[in-house]
Amino acid sequence: MRFFGFNKRIGVVGMYRSGKTVFMTSLINHLERHDPDRFPLGKKRIRLGNFNPLPVEDGFRAFDYESHRHSLVSLQRWPTKTRMARQFRFNLTRSDWRYTLMDLTLTDLPGERLADIRIAKNSYESWSDEICGLFSTEPEYLAHAQGYIKTLAKAANQDSNPDQDEILHAYRLALARACLSYLPVITPSSFLLGPQGDYCGQRDEKGMAQTRYVGVDKDNQFAPLSKEVRKKHPGLAGLFKRRYEHYRRSVVAPTAHWLAQCNELVVLLDITTILAGGLGMYHGALALIEDLITYVDPGRGVLGQFASGLLKPLSAGHLTLPGITRIAFVASKADKVHASDRQKLLSLLRAMVQSRMNDLSEEYKLRVEYFACAAVKSTVSLNNGKLEGQPVELLQANSQKRPPVVRFTPSKVPGSWPENWGSHEYRFPDILPQMPARKDLAPPHLGLNLVADFLLSSDHLTE
C-alpha cells in the first residue's frame, strides 16, 4: 500500500527537572504500544500502529528511549539525567487517516538555553551594552552585580592591560548570585548548562564561580565589557568578541536552528516546583515564557534577523522560518498534588501564560492549549486529602530496598498565585515511579493522551 508522508517536528521545552525525559519516555511508550483503552485518542477510538524508530537527524544525539524505559520498568527508578538535546524519530500510522504515514520527531530542549536569546539577536558590542545596562540600572541585578561593575570601572581607568581572569571571575560571581536569587538573565547559559549538557548542581556562589564557564569551554570564556573598557582596551574587547562569536555559532545557533524547524512545542512547567521554590522561581519561569515567545514570534523579528545572519550559511542558503502551529503548555507531575487540586494546577498555569499568548495566537493562527498531566502517575489520592506513594526521601542510601508505601498530606494548591510567598511554604514530596507489574504495559498516566491528541492532530487532515 502507498502511504502519504506527514511530518511533525515536536520540541519538548522546559527547565532542568521539569520532566522532559519522563514525558518523552512515557509518550513514546504509549505510541509504541498503543492501547486505546489506556490511552484513548480522538472521538472515534483511533488506533495507532506501525511504530518504527528511525535514525536521528544530523547534529542530534539519539534519545535513549530503551534505557529510560528499562529504568522505569525494571529498576522502578526515574531515568538518569540526560545531557544535550536528544532526539527520537519514528513512523506511525493512525486508523482514521488511511494511507498516511506520520514521520514524527521529538526533541528535548533545555529551557535554560532560551536566555541566550540576547546573544542570538545581538553583536558582542550591543550584547555587552544590554547586560551592562541591566546590571547597572535594574535594582535587583545591581544588588548582585556591584562587584562586577566596580571591576569594569577599574579596568576602564587603568592604562596597563586588565587582568582577563579577574574580569571573568567577577562576571561569574555576579551570575552565580543572580542565579541563586532565581534571576533569569543567566547568559551565556553555559554557566548553568555546559555545551556538553553538564548542569550546575552547586548552590554556593564561590563554588559556582570557580567551576562553571562563561563560554564554550575554559579557554574560551567571555564577559560583557562596557563601552569605556572596550575603547580603552581594544585587544581584550576583540578577544572576547571572537569567543562570543564562537559561542554564538556553536551553542546558540543550533538551538535557534532547531526551534526554527519545529512545528509544535510542548512547554513543560512544573507548577509544584515553582510553588515550592517561592516567588523568585515564579519570576524565573515567567522569564522562560517571555524568552520563548520572543523566539517563536516572527513579528519580533528575532528569528528573522537571526536566520539571515546565522541560519543561512548553516542551511546552505535555505531559510526555514518558524513554522510553529501548535503549542501545548503542560503543568507536569500533576500526580504530586491531590486529585481534588489538579484543576487548580491548570488555573495557575493559565494565569501565568494565557494573557501572554493571546496576541500571538490571534496574529499567527497559533493553536495554544493548556494541560495538567502526569507522564507517570505515581500516587493514589485518598478521600482525606492525603496521597499514597513511595517518597524518594525514604530511600536508604546504598540500599536496593524499596521504601514503604506511606500516606502523606501534600500542600494544598492555592486557587490563584499568591502576591508573595517564600521558598518551602509549599511542599510536594518527590516520589518514586509506580509502574504496572506487567512489564509490557506503558506507564499509568494522567491526561497524557489529551496532550498526544492535540499534538497528533492536523488542521489539514480531518478525522
Interface residue list for ligand GDP (CB under 6 A): 14, 16-22, 78-79, 82, 332-333, 335-336, 374-376, 378, 430-431
Which CB atom, from 84 or from 405, has the smaller least distance to Mg ion? 84
Asked if residues 337 and 378 have their Cβ atoms less than 8 Å apart, the reply is no
Q: Find which of Mg ion, ligand GDP, none residue 336 binds, CB within 5 to 8 Å per kind.
A: ligand GDP
Distance between CA 146 and CA 130 in Å, rounded?
16
Strands of 387-389's sheet, edge to edge? 380-381, 387-389, 406-408
Distance between CA 155 and CA 225 in Å, rounded?
10
Shortest distance in whole angstroms from residue 378 CB to ligand GDP: 4
Residue 352: its H or E element: helix 342-364
Of 6, 8, 19, 21, the one binding Mg ion (CB under 5 A) is 21
Which CB atom, from 80 or from 157, has the smaller least distance to ligand GDP? 80
Which CB atom, from 188 or from 444, has the smaller least distance to ligand GDP? 444
C-alpha cell at 66: 530503551
Q: Residue 86, Cα to own-chain centre: how many angstroms? A: 12
Beta pairing partners, 55: none
Residue 450: its H or E element: helix 448-455
Shortest distance in whole angstroms from residue 16 CB to Mg ion: 8
Residue nearest to Mg ion (CB): 21
Q: Find which of ligand GDP, Mg ion, none residue 14 binds, CB within 5 to 8 Å per kind.
A: ligand GDP
- Residue 422 burial (C-beta neighbours within 10 Å; 0-12, 13-18, 19+): exposed
Shortest distance in whole angstroms from residue 29 CB to ligand GDP: 13
Asked if residues 41 and 452 have their Cβ atoms less than 8 Å apart, the reply is yes
Q: Find which of Mg ion, ligand GDP, none residue 120 binds, CB within 5 to 8 Å per kind.
A: none
Which CB atom, from 21 or from 434, has the smaller least distance to Mg ion? 21
Shortest distance in whole angstroms from residue 174 CB to ligand GDP: 26
Which CB atom, from 310 or from 413, has the smaller least distance to ligand GDP? 413
* b/e per residue 289-321 (b: at least 16 CB within 10 A): bebbbbbbbbeeebbbebbeebbeeeeeeeeee
Shortest distance in whole angstroms from residue 433 CB to Mg ion: 15
Contact between 18 and Mg ion by CB under 5 A: the answer reads no
Taking residues 76 to 115 in sequence order and writing x for each that binds Mg ion by CB under 5 A, - otherwise, the string is ------x---------------------------------
CA angle 274, 275, 278 (to 5 degrees): 85
Which CB atom, from 212 or from 333, has the smaller least distance to ligand GDP? 333
Shortest distance in whole angstroms from residue 455 CB to ligand GDP: 17
Report the C-alpha dihedral over residues 323, 329, 335, 338, rounded to 10 degrees. -160
Shortest distance in whole angstroms from residue 54 CB to ligand GDP: 22
Which CB atom, from 291 or from 335, has the smaller least distance to ligand GDP? 335
CA angle 392, 398, 404 (to 5 degrees): 40
- Alpha-helical (H) ranges within 200-299 are 205-211, 227-232, 234-247, 253-261, 271-277, 279-296
Nearest Cα to 331, choosing from 293, 285, 383? 285
Which CB atom, from 224 or from 284, has the smaller least distance to Mg ion? 284
Q: Find which of Mg ion, ligand GDP, none residue 381 binds, CB within 5 to 8 Å per kind.
A: none
* Span from 20-28, 61-69, 171-179, 325-333 in contact with Mg ion (CB under 5 A): 20-28
Shortest distance in whole angstroms from residue 4 CB to ligand GDP: 33
Interacting residue ranges for Mg ion, rule: CB under 5 A: 20-21, 82
